[in-house]
Every structure is written in C-alpha cells, then in structure tokens.
Structure 1
Amino acid sequence: MSRSLRHGALAATAIVFSIASLAACGAGNDAATLQVRPDSAATTSGDISVQNANLITQPERDAEGPAVVSATLFNNGTQKQTLDTVSLPGTSASVKLHAAKGSGPIEVPAGGSVVLGGKGNASAVIENGREAAKNGSVQNVVFKFSTTGEVPLGVLVVPATSFFTGFGPSSLPTAPSKPATSPSNTPSGSATAGAGQPGSESDTDVPGDGESGVPSQD
C-alpha cells in the first residue's frame, strides 16, 4: 500500500471514531455518558475537604418528611476533628447530627474520612424537609468542625431518586390511628370482688360489734 493510501485509511478511521463518539453523546437516555454520576459540590479548608455534597429531599415532590445533607468529609491533618454542626443559612431549618454508631459526636479521624448519608453511615437530617430549598436550586450549607471551624459551600438540592436513592431521607412514619375503646370486662351492675362471691361473707352475715356469733347460754 502506498503512503498516500495509508494516510487516507488513517484519516477515514479517525472520522469513523469521531462519528461514533458523537453518536454516543447523542444516543439519548441509554448513552454511556449519561450513566456518569452528576457533579456534586466540593471544597477544601485547612485540613478538611468536603466532597460529593448535596442536599437530598424526599423522592416525591410534595411528600412530607425529612431531608438530608449528604457528603464525604476528609481529614488530611494529623489530629482527629469532630463535626459540630451543619447549618443552612437563610432558612429556619435545623439540622440534627447522628453518628454512625452510638450517640456521640461525628468524628473525622486523622488521615481518614466520614460519609454523611446512606445506610450505616453518619447522618445530617433536616427534620422539616419542606423548609429546605426547592429541588434544582443551590442551597448554602455550612459545616463547622472542632479545629478547622466553618467550611461553607453551595450544594445542589436534588430528590432522592436515581443516583441519590441510597443516600436520601426516609419518609416520616405515619402516626397510628387511635384504637377504639374496648368495653369493660366487668359486666355493668356486677358486685365488686370479695362481695357476694362464692366463699365470701356478705355484710348481712357479719356479726355486729361485741357479738361472737355463738348462742349465749343462760
């Protein structure tokens, strides 16, 4: 094969690959590029790095229940730190922190990491999720650590669907309905225990004061 033919073959091959790549990008919901997890917020302050941060709401738009802040917290320092608070500036929502085990603080070990959200992990729960920002918007979140202090960043608000299903909140349990009052087991008008029962003495059978119940002897 001549040099010009070889060059032509290489050029044709490059064009085929380019077309294939463009086709994959525009192939719709089944395109490989759409299977990549969406970008999430990340920032670094001092020894602390916050990555994959999102505010995840209920999967249904109008569902009542909590929301959560999901993130991975990295401690690049030589001393452990605790996550003291997570707050949402500009809202009245409060965030409750829960360690993965026990009731102590959420500790980020030196040279280690902690995941917020997901089964078996620590959690940052917004009890009234409706007070959080709307899906698709960006909400400011401030993580406050024991040594590094406040680490603010803007996170995307997303529903607990698709990639975020396993990290989202659970719906609040429905309060059980009040059971109907059952009738008393004691029939109406029945005698109280010990009165008129077999083997018991009624008031009329009890001797009066000073009486022995034994006939007197003249």
Structure 2
Amino acid sequence: MTRNRRHRAIAAAAFLAAAPALAGCGAGFDATTNKPYAPTEALAVNTEQGIKISQAFFLGPDSGAQLAAGGSTPLYLSMVNTNQTPDTLVGLGVDPAVGTAKVSAPVTLPPNQRVATGQPTPGILIEGLKKPLRGGESITVQLQFTNAGVVPLTIPVITRSREFTAYPAAPNATPAPTPTPTPSASTAGEGDHGTEGH
C-alpha cells in the first residue's frame, strides 16, 4: 500500500469512527427544528447521597410576565430515596441575596417510593425575592436531608407554559401582557381607497 493510500485509509477509518458521535450531535441539535429548544427544562439528577431526583424546578410566571421582587416562587420536586432507610427533607438553603427559603413541613421519603412536593399545595418556597424572575434563570440551593445530608443543586426557573400550564400560578405573579392589535395592510389600503374616491 502506498503512503497516500495508507493516509486515505486512516482518514476514512477516523471519519467512520467519528460518524456515530457526529450523528448523535446532529440529532440533538436537530431537535431545535422539531420543537423549541428549552434549556431550562426541569432538572433530573442522581445524587451521590442516594436521592434520585427525576424532576426539580421553580415555577416562574406565565410567558411574557414576571414574578415581581418581593414575590415567591414554589419549588416542585419528584424524588426517590434509593437508600435502604427512610429519610426526610427538612430544609432548603438559599443565598439571602435571592430570597428566604420556607419549608412548611418536613417531607418524608420512604425507601424506593416516589415522592412529589408542591401538589396540591406548594410547601417549599423562596419568598421575598430580591429580584424579579421571568423564567430562564437558575437558582442554586441546598436540599437538607436528615440522613443524606446537604445536596447542592442548581434548579431552573420554568415559565408556566406548555406542560406546566396545569400548575397553579406562582404567588404574586403579574399577568402576561395582552398583545395590542395593529392595523393590517388591507385595512390601511381600504382607508386609502376611500380617500381616493373623494
């Protein structure tokens, strides 16, 4: 085999080896053409402490609206304690520059049972927000468990849209602005014709 052929063979092999990875990237980015890319979808993570979180998000306002400073954002969690002994979520730590955490009651986590917080009534909130939230932000918190200890997470703020419209509005959320109708070209054209007729 000549040197040129050998180089071509190596290049072809390298391309074929990279093809599955490139196809995977393409499939991921193609999703933007199939549906809107939502980088702030709910967080899912398996923690080192044995708490599996399949969904975690702060509920923000409706699209185009905001949670005003001084308002509250509820935390929704869906989690499974994969440890052999029961555990309890007892607290939420948050930077005071964001707001004040409130856990209305401890959340018991039996082994290997899914537990969801926030429904029907949100029991974990960040109150007294220091800045307005519009959705798309992330908030770093520490979930505090009796046995698992402190679990740090960065949780997205998701607008109340798409599959999240079924959730009750966050407290003190401002309504989304109503679109203002604009005159259409045909209406403007009709007005012009009327003027020309006189």
TM-score (norm 1): 0.52
Q: 1:122 to 1:26 in 2, by over 3 A?
A: closer
Aligned length: 142
1:203 aligned residue: none
Q: Give the match's secondary structure for 1:45.
A: coil
Q: 1:112 to 1:92 in 2, by over 3 A?
A: same
Q: CA deviation at 1:107?
A: 0.6
**Aligned runs of 1:127-142 on 2, under 5 Å?**
127-131=127-131, 135-142=135-142
Q: Contact 1:139–1:156 (CA<8 Å) still a contact in 2?
A: yes
Q: Does 1:48 align with 2:54?
A: no
Larger mean CA deviation between 129-138 and 155-164 belongs to: 129-138
2:159 aligned residue: 159
Q: CA deviation at 1:92?
A: 4.7
Q: CA deviation at 1:45?
A: 2.4
How much identity, in percent, do the aligned residues show?
18
Q: CA deviation at 1:122?
A: 5.7
Q: Contact 2:92–2:141 (CA<8 Å) still a contact in 1?
A: yes
1:70 aligned residue: 76
TM-score (norm 2): 0.57
Q: Contact 1:58–1:171 (CA<8 Å) still a contact in 2?
A: no
Q: CA deviation at 1:129?
A: 3.9
**TM-superposition CA deviations, 1:16-57 (whole Å, max 9, x none):** xxxxxx9xx5896xx4x4599964322412221223212222
Q: Give the match's secondary structure for 2:47.
A: strand
**TM-superposition CA deviations, 1:144-200 (whole Å, max 9, x none):** 100000111112222222232334643349xxxxxxxxxxxxxxxxxxxxxxxxxxx
RCO comparison, higher one (Cα < 8 Å, 6+) = 2
2:115 aligned residue: 114
Whichever residue aligns with residue 152 of structure 1, its letter is P
Q: CA deviation at 1:82?
A: 0.8
2:93 aligned residue: 87
2:66 aligned residue: 61
Q: CA deviation at 1:91?
A: 2.6
CA distance in 2, matches of 1:50, 1:26: 24
Q: 1:138 to 1:127 in 2, by over 3 A?
A: closer
1:123 aligned residue: 123
